[in-house]
C-alpha cells in the first residue's frame, strides 16, 4: 500500500491546485468517494484511473471577481483486484463529485464432485 | 473494514491531522465546539461591492435546492440551508466534509434595495445580487455651461 508522492514537482510552475475535501464510504458492494468542488459543473470535471491511481480534477470558472479555481486529488487503490474497474461511475451534483467503484462479484462457492474409485 | 483508498499525496494528510485535532478538542471540551468549527457545515462566504450594488457568493456544495433558503426581514438578509451525508455513519472511513444546518444573517445598510435581491444557485454556489436603491446609486449631475 503505497502513499508515494506522485507528481508534485511539475505543478508548482503552472496551475495551483486546491485539495478538495472528501468523504469515503465503503459498503459490501462498493466504495464511494464524494468531493466538494463548488463551482465545478459537469464539463469542468474529470476522473481518471491509471494503473491503481484514481485521480480527479475540477475547474471552476472565475466568477464574482474570483479567479478560476482548480481542484485535484489522487488516491491509490490498494487492492484493484477487488473491484470491477470497468464499472466505475462518476457524477456531479450541485458542486459535489461522486465516484462509485463497484466491488467485483465474489466467486460463488463451487461444489467439487468426489469421485468414487 | 478494508481501507480501499489511500491518499496518494502525503501533503494531503493535513486533514487527518485536523480530524485528530477536532477529536482531541471534543475530549477536552465535551460541552461542544464553538460555532463555525470544522465539523459543522459553515459555507464559505464572500462579497464584492460594486457601484450599483453588492454581490454575495456562498459556497454550498451538496446542498439540494429545496434545502436552501434566502429570506429578507427588514434590512436583514438571511441565508439558510442544510446538507447531510448520504452514507451510513458506519460505512464512512474518511470524512473531511462537514454536515448539518447553517444560517447566516447580514444586516445591510439602508442604501441597498432588499426588495430587488436576485439569487442564482449553480454548481454548488449561491450568488446573490443586491442592488443599491435608485437614490443611493451614483448619479452624474450635468453641469450647465454658461
Residue-wise pLDDT tens digits, B93-126: 888 999 999 999 999 998 999 999 999 999 999 9
Tell me if A54 and B6 make a contact (CB, 8 A cut-off). Answer: no
Q: For A64, which DSSP code?
A: T
B86, B97, B124 member nearest A22 (Cβ): B97
Q: Mean of the per-residue pLDDT values for chain B? A: 83
Q: How many domains does chain B have?
A: 2
- CATH, domain A15-102, list 3.30.70.250, 2.30.38.10, 3.40.140.10, 2.60.40.790: 2.60.40.790
Both B30 and B101 in one domain: the answer is no
**Residue with the larger pLDDT of the pair B83 and B134:** B83
Same domain? For B50 and B117 the reply is yes
Is there a single domain that holds both residue B114 and residue B102? yes
Nearest to B61 among A2, A19, A96 (CB): A96
The grid coordinates listed for B129 are 445580487
Considering the domain architecture, whether residues B19 and B49 belong to the same structural domain is answered as no
Long-range contacts of residues A100-103, Cβ cutoff 8 Å, at least 24 apart: A100/A30, A100/A31, A100/A32, A101/A30, A101/A31, A101/A32, A101/A33, A101/A54, A101/A77, A101/B4, A102/A29, A102/A30, A103/A28, A103/A29, A103/A30, A103/A31
- Rounded to a whole number of angstroms, the distance from the CA of B142 to the nearest CA of chain A is 32
Per-residue pLDDT of chain A (117 residues; tens, 9 = 90+): 333 345 544 445 578 899 999 999 999 999 999 999 999 999 999 999 998 899 999 999 886 667 889 999 999 988 888 899 999 999 999 999 999 999 998 777 888 899 988
Distance CA B100, CA B83 (A): 6
Average pLDDT, integer, range B80-86: 94
A7, A8, A16, A23: best to mutate for the B interface, most B CBs within 10 A: A23
Per-residue pLDDT, B38: 46
Predicted confidence band of residue B3 (pLDDT cuts 50, 70, 90):
low
Q: Could you tell me if B82 and B21 lie in one domain? A: no
Residue B146 lies in a domain: no
pLDDT tier, B4 (very low <50, low <70, confident <90, very high otherwise)? confident
The verdict on a CB contact (< 8 Å) between A5 and B123 is no
Is B50 contained in some domain?
Answer: yes
Instruction: Give domain status of residue B77, yes or no.
Output: yes
Question: Does B29 share its domain with B64?
Answer: no
For residue B25, the enclosing domain spans 10-39
Domain co-membership, B62 together with B85: yes
The two beta strands, A69-77 and A17-18, are parallel
Evaluate whether residue B130 is within a structural domain. Answer: yes
CATH number of the domain residue B80 falls in: 2.60.40.790
Same-domain pairing of B83 and B123: yes
Q: Tell me whether residue B89 is in a domain.
A: yes
Amino acid at each position: 500500500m503505497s502513499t508515494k508522492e506522485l507528481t508534485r514537482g511539475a505543478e508548482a510552475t503552472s496551475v495551483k491546485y486546491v485539495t478538495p475535501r472528501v468523504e469515503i464510504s465503503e459498503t459490501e458492494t462498493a466504495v464511494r468517494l464524494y468531493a466538494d468542488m463548488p463551482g465545478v459543473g459537469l464539463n469542468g470535471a474529470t476522473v481518471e484511473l491509471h494503473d491503481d491511481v484514481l485521480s480527479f480534477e475540477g475547474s471552476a470558472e472565475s466568477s464574482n471577481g474570483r479567479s478560476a479555481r482548480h481542484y485535484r486529488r489522487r488516491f491509490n487503490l490498494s487492492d484493484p483486484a477487488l473491484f470491477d474497474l470497468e464499472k466505475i461511475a462518476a457524477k456531479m451534483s450541485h458542486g459535489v463529485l461522486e465516484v462509485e467503484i463497484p466491488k467485483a462479484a465474489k466467486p460463488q462457492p463451487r461444489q467439487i464432485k468426489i469421485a468414487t474409485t | 473494514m478494508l481501507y480501499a483508498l489511500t491518499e496518494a499525496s502525503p501533503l494531503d494528510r493535513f486533514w487527518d491531522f485536523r480530524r485528530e485535532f477536532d477529536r482531541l478538542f471534543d475530549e477536552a471540551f465535551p460541552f461542544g465546539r464553538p460555532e463555525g468549527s470544522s465539523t459543522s457545515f459553515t459555507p464559505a462566504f464572500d462579497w464584492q461591492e460594486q457601484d450599483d450594488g453588492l454581490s454575495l457568493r456562498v459556497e454550498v456544495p451538496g446542498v439540494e435546492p429545496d434545502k436552501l433558503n434566502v429570506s429578507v426581514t427588514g434590512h436583514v438578509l438571511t441565508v439558510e440551508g442544510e446538507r447531510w451525508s448520504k452514507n451510513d455513519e458506519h460505512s464512512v472511513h474518511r470524512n473531511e466534509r462537514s454536515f448539518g444546518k447553517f444560517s447566516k444573517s447580514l444586516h445591510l445598510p439602508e442604501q441597498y434595495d432588499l426588495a430587488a435581491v436576485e439569487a442564482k444557485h449553480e454548481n454548488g454556489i449561491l450568488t446573490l445580487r443586491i442592488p443599491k436603491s435608485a437614490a443611493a446609486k451614483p448619479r452624474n449631475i450635468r453641469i450647465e455651461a454658461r
